[in-house]
Amino acid sequence: MFLYNRGILVSSFTVKLCIFPIEICSSFKFIGGIIVQRHSSCGVLLFVKYPSKGIVKSRLSPDLDKNRIVVLYRAFVDDAFHMLKRTPYSVIICYHPPDALGCFEDWLGTGYQCIPQVGSNLGERMKNGFQQGFSLGFDRLLVIGSDSPDLPAETIVEAFHQLDEYDAVIGPCRDGGYYLFGCTRQCFSPLVFQGISWSTPAVFQETMTRLSKEGLRTFVLPEWRDVDTIDDLRDFFLRNQKTEFRVSATMEVLRSYFNGEEYCLRNRRM
């Protein structure tokens, strides 16, 4: 079967207008009206924790029951994972704890490359993740987490496209962190992850300073919001009422939690 399409073709990171016949097969993905060719040399590191009570999304624990937080976190990860599977890039699951591979395979399935998160802080874990990813043969890597489950696939495509011109790419969050970071194999520097005040509003600016000191030309993506607190969660739920994300696993969970003015707050006697 063939489809004639007039539009933008992203092929080997080159964007061009054209009219062409395309065989509908696994070699191409359609993302946001753009035809994107698969790239085996590009991978996305998805940082994931196993959803255990009291371990994931701890900043929600003053307001939500721990069991509900676990269900919500699973939905966050499921949506991020589903989004990445819509892209033409390889997904590398960076899992924690390191001895829980079987649990992740039961949850997310097999057939994906998996590497454990190793390191005493987030910076070390990301540095080691990039090093392991590049050792697998990838030329360009991105890292994301699951705190922005409504991040669109188009953002991933744009990030890889910018690595055709830039050494690194970063996506800032409103709270001062970042939701995405990526670089090429040639320009990877472990120092980018060192000396950063992780889990503070200074993360993005300190990282930008480090990138500048390393002489890396960096493209800054549009700001996105992550979800850490109950206020973030309420805003997230409200702003996605009429977006494509409204049919996601996360929104289905939140509709069961946010019923009118009832926010399923944790029983204070616990």
- Over residues 196-220, the pLDDT tens digits come to 999 999 999 999 999 999 999 999 9
Q: Could you tell me the end-to-end alpha-carbon distance of the chain, in angstroms, rounded to an integer?
A: 60
Query: Which pLDDT band, with edges at 50, 70 and 90, does 6 fall under?
Result: very low
Query: Which pLDDT band, with edges at 50, 70 and 90, does 106 fall under?
Result: very high
Residue 75 pLDDT? 98
Residue 88 has pLDDT above 70, yes or no: yes
The superfamily CATH assigns to domain 40-257 is: Spore Coat Polysaccharide Biosynthesis Protein SpsA; Chain A (3.90.550.10)
- Give the mean model confidence (pLDDT) for residues 44-57: 95
Cα separation, 235 vs 52, in Å, equals 25
- Give the mean model confidence (pLDDT) for residues 115-138: 97
For the chain, percent of residues with pLDDT exceeding 90: 78
Residue 75 and residue 148 in contact, taking contact as beta carbons nearer than 8 Å: no
Residue 226 pLDDT? 93
- Give the mean model confidence (pLDDT) for residues 19-40: 46
Residue 17 has pLDDT above 80, yes or no: no
Residue 155 has pLDDT above 80, yes or no: yes
- Give the mean model confidence (pLDDT) for residues 124-150: 97
Write the Ramachandran bin of 12: left for phi over 0, alpha for psi from -120 to 50, otherwise beta.
left
Give me the residue spans of the domains in the chain: 1-37, 40-257
